[in-house]
């Protein structure tokens, strides 16, 4: 049997004004024009911009839609429209069933009421009777791990405690539709892991809309994504890897920065030996299982004791994933002024498919003090047929 459509979004647009006073004045004008039966003005007035433009999708029970995009792309605005916190300027949202939401810290909580009272309040808003909430109460408190503090006013909760309570209510009340802004997952690691386990458990009976900046998580949970850019759906579809690649494109430019120098040496160039360049911004490409071969050109400004080279490798989210063995850059104990070349090779690279960048430093011969450090010196791309979000694919014999 076809799963039922729980969320239907048709041509939804939302505009905001960059200036508060002008925005308030437009609000008053809109009120009058609505009163006279005119529809919302669809054209932009001075200082207005589209935070969302013509968004369309359908979501069935058991499906999870990932909303991705850079800061200010419109993700939270869409969640707020879905949750009924704000109205769209154009388009229509149809939702069937109960909506659980974790979208704004403290939203939906009355700060002067206790945690327990807020559970009753929120449960009632979700459409549950007092008896039904009574039945769920202990489960929610236990899930949020807040039994000691449940009779304290929510205004005295830490932000992590508020998120715990918010997620416990949103997820334990068996919603048909669950809206989650992962930015709010400020709970500690243990609670976050528990949340994701719960999401896995309720997914088959729920339609989930999940906003996240963590691409591995999006790819694990979601079966469809929308990549928002300036309020528009730049990509929408079920090919999660293609959407994520587009999202990452913005990070492709080299952003080489010297973080520290003591003035004795500089790095002029690093060449990554590669069979070909990627279409994506001429990045050198290495096939998985191939060699990472680097040729460095240094400029030695003063005669110094031979330093050691430190090369760390970062993934596209700037998480450090590996470091190459630290070695002296020459066999001689001292190096003279002038240029110096060095070739190093790491064989059989087993990173999974993706874009990586190099942080490079030189450290003094006899102390850990740095000579020079660069971040994001250059990038390379590893190719593999499989879209895998774990950091490595380890060569395996069967
Ligand atoms: N109430 C508001 N009044 C005016 N502008 C707003 C309002 N709410 C949001 N915006 C603007 O709308 C745009 C989209 O904001 P939104 O919060 O939806 O982005 P986001 O994709 O969730 O970003 P982030 O990843 O930083 O959470 C931004 O330019 C933001 O400044």
Pocket probe mutation, ligand 1, options 52, 71, 73, max atoms within 8 Å of Cβ: 73
Same domain, 199 and 53: yes
Write down which residue in 249, 267, 287 finishes a domain: 249
The pLDDT of residue 32? 78
Residue whose CA is closest, atom 16 of ligand 1? Answer: 74
Write down which residue in 215, 249, 283 finishes a domain: 249
Same domain, 314 and 197: no
Which residues contact ligand 1 via a Cβ below 6 A?
A: 16, 51, 69, 71-77, 183
Residue whose CA is closest, atom 9 of ligand 1? Answer: 77
167 to each of 117, 158, 199, how far by Cα in Å? 16, 14, 10
Pocket probe mutation, ligand 1, options 16, 67, 229, 250, max atoms within 8 Å of Cβ: 16
Residue whose CA is closest, atom 29 of ligand 1? Answer: 72
The pLDDT of residue 278? 60
Same domain, 223 and 135: yes
Same domain, 213 and 307: no
Q: What is the number of the ligand 1 atom nearest to the C-alpha of 52?
A: 14
Same domain, 243 and 265: no
Pocket probe mutation, ligand 1, options 76, 89, 105, 210, max atoms within 8 Å of Cβ: 76
Residue 119 domain-assigned (yes or no): yes
The pLDDT of residue 254? 60
User: How many structural domains compose the chain?
Assistant: 2
Residue 130 domain-assigned (yes or no): yes
Q: What is the number of the ligand 1 atom nearest to the C-alpha of 78?
A: 18
The pLDDT of residue 24? 85
Same domain, 224 and 267: no
Same domain, 40 and 111: yes
Q: What is the CATH number of the domain that holds 349?
A: 2.70.50.60
Same domain, 74 and 37: yes
Cα dihedral sign, 217-220-221-222: positive
The pLDDT of residue 43? 76
Write down which residue in 189, 219, 249 finishes a domain: 249
Q: What is the number of the ligand 1 atom nearest to the C-alpha of 231?
A: 14
The span from the CA of 121 to the CA of 165, in Å, is 13
Cα of 317 to ligand 1 centre, how many Å? Answer: 22
Same domain, 244 and 261: no
The pLDDT of residue 29? 81
Cα of 181 to ligand 1 centre, how many Å? Answer: 13
The pLDDT of residue 141? 94
Same domain, 88 and 227: yes
Residue 398 domain-assigned (yes or no): no
The pLDDT of residue 283? 85
Cα of 342 to ligand 1 centre, how many Å? Answer: 48
Residue 238 domain-assigned (yes or no): yes
The pLDDT of residue 368? 77
The pLDDT of residue 390? 85
Same domain, 245 and 264: no
Residue 394 domain-assigned (yes or no): no
Q: What is the CATH number of the domain that holds 115?
A: 3.40.50.300
Cα of 211 to ligand 1 centre, how many Å? Answer: 13
Cα of 74 to ligand 1 centre, how many Å? Answer: 6
Domain limits at 293?
257-383
The pLDDT of residue 41? 54
Secondary structure (H, E, C), the chain: CCCCEEEEEEEEEEEEECCHHHHHHHHHHHHHHHHCCCCCCCCCCCCEEEEEEEEEEEEECCCEEEEECCCCCCHHHHHHHHCCCCCCCEEEEEECCCEEEECCCCCCCCCCCEHHHHHHHHHHHCCCCHHHHHHHHHHHHHHHCCHHHCCCEHHHCCHHHHHHHHHHHHHHCCCCEEEEEHHHCCCCHHHHHHHHHHHHHHHHHCEEEEECCCHHHHHHHCCEEEEEECCEEEEEECCHHHHHHHHHHCCCCCCCEEEEECCCEEEEEEEEECCEECCCCCCEEEECCCCEEEEEEEEECCCEECCEEEEEEEECCCCEEEECCCEECCCCCEECCEEEEEEEEECCCCECCEEEEEEEEEECCCCCCEEEEEECCCEEEEECCCCCCCCECCCCCC
Residue 396 domain-assigned (yes or no): no
Pocket probe mutation, ligand 1, options 51, 79, 181, max atoms within 8 Å of Cβ: 51
Residue 234 domain-assigned (yes or no): yes
Cα of 71 to ligand 1 centre, how many Å? Answer: 8
Tens-of-pLDDT digits for all 398 residues of the chain?
567 899 999 999 999 988 888 888 888 888 877 777 666 556 778 788 899 999 999 999 999 999 999 888 999 999 999 988 899 989 999 999 988 888 776 667 889 999 999 999 988 887 888 998 999 999 999 999 999 999 999 999 998 898 889 889 888 888 899 998 886 666 688 888 888 888 899 999 999 999 998 888 898 889 999 999 999 999 999 999 889 888 888 777 666 778 888 989 999 999 998 877 665 557 899 999 999 999 999 999 999 999 999 999 999 888 899 999 998 999 899 999 999 999 999 999 999 998 999 999 999 988 778 999 998 888 899 999 888 878 899 999 99
Residue 391 domain-assigned (yes or no): no
Same domain, 237 and 313: no
């Amino acid at each position: 049997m076809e799963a039922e459509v729980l969320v239907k979004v048709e041509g939804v647009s939302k505009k905001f004004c960059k200036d508060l006073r002008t925005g308030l004045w437009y609000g008053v004008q809109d009120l009058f024009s609505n009163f006279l039966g005119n529809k919302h003005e669809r054209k932009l007035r001075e200082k207005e911009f589209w935070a969302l433009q013509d968004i369309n999708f359908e979501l069935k029970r058991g499906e999870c839609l990932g909303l991705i995009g850079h800061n200010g792309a419109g993700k939270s605005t869409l969640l707020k429209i879905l949750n009924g916190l704000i109205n769209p300027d154009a388009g229509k949202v149809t939702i069937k069933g109960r909506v659980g939401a974790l979208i704004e810290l403290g939203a939906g909580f009355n700060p002067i009421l206790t945690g327990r009272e807020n559970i009753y309040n929120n449960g009632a808003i979700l459409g549950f009777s007092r008896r039904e909430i009574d039945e769920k109460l202990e489960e929610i408190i236990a899930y949020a791990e807040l039994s000691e503090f449940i009779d304290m006013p929510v205004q005295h909760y830490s932000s992590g405690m508020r998120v715990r309570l918010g997620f416990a209510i949103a997820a334990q009340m068996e919603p048909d539709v669950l809206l989650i802004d992962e930015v709010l997952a400020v709970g500690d690691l243990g609670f976050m892991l528990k949340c994701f386990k719960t999401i896995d458990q309720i997914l088959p009976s729920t339609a989930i809309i999940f906003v996240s900046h963590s691409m591995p998580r999006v790819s694990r949970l979601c079966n469809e994504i929308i990549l928002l850019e300036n309020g528009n759906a730049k990509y929408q579809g079920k090919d999660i890897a293609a959407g994520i690649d587009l999202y990452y494109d913005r990070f492709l430019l080299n952003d080489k920065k010297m973080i520290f120098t003591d003035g004795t040496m500089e790095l002029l160039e690093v060449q990554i030996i590669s069979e070909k360049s990627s279409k994506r911004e001429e990045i050198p490409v290495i096939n998985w299982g191939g060699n990472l071969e680097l040729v460095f050109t240094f400029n030695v400004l003063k005669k110094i004791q031979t330093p050691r080279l430190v090369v760390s490798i970062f993934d596209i989210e700037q998480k450090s994933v590996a470091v190459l063995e630290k070695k002296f850059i020459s066999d001689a104990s001292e190096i003279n002024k002038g240029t110096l070349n060095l070739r190093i090779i790491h064989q059989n690279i087993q990173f999974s498919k993706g874009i990586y960048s190099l942080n490079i430093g030189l450290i003094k011969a006899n102390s850990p003090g740095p000579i020079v450090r660069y971040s994001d010196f250059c990038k390379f791309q590893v190719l593999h047929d499989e879209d895998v979000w774990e950091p490595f694919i380890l060569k395996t014999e069967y």
